[in-house]
Amino acid sequence: MGIETVIVRAGGGPVMQIPVTYRSAPLGDAERWFIGTMQHSVLGTRWVYDGLGDPVYGELVFRADPCVAWARLS
């Protein structure tokens, strides 16, 4: 599993920070968070998800700062 943060801006809109996770197999019951697949040159096919819908991402955020994670879940 991998985690990255993508910085995007659409037109003149705000700059947004989007957490992205990628996995070696599809994440069950996470279709609404699915972004797509990509090919890694060494690891092969990766399934890419919006990190906010990935429970591992949520757990890592909670470990890093429980106050931030609590605010996200409220």
Give the pLDDT of residue 65. 75
Give the pLDDT of residue 48. 96
Domain residue limits at 47: 2-73
The pLDDT profile of the chain, 74 residues, written as one tens digit per residue, is 899 989 999 999 999 999 999 999 999 999 999 999 999 999 999 999 999 999 999 888 888 877 765 555 54
Q: CB within 8 A of 34, min separation 6: which ones?
A: 26, 27, 47, 48, 49
Domain count of the fold of the chain:
1
Give the pLDDT of residue 70. 56
pTM over 0.85: no
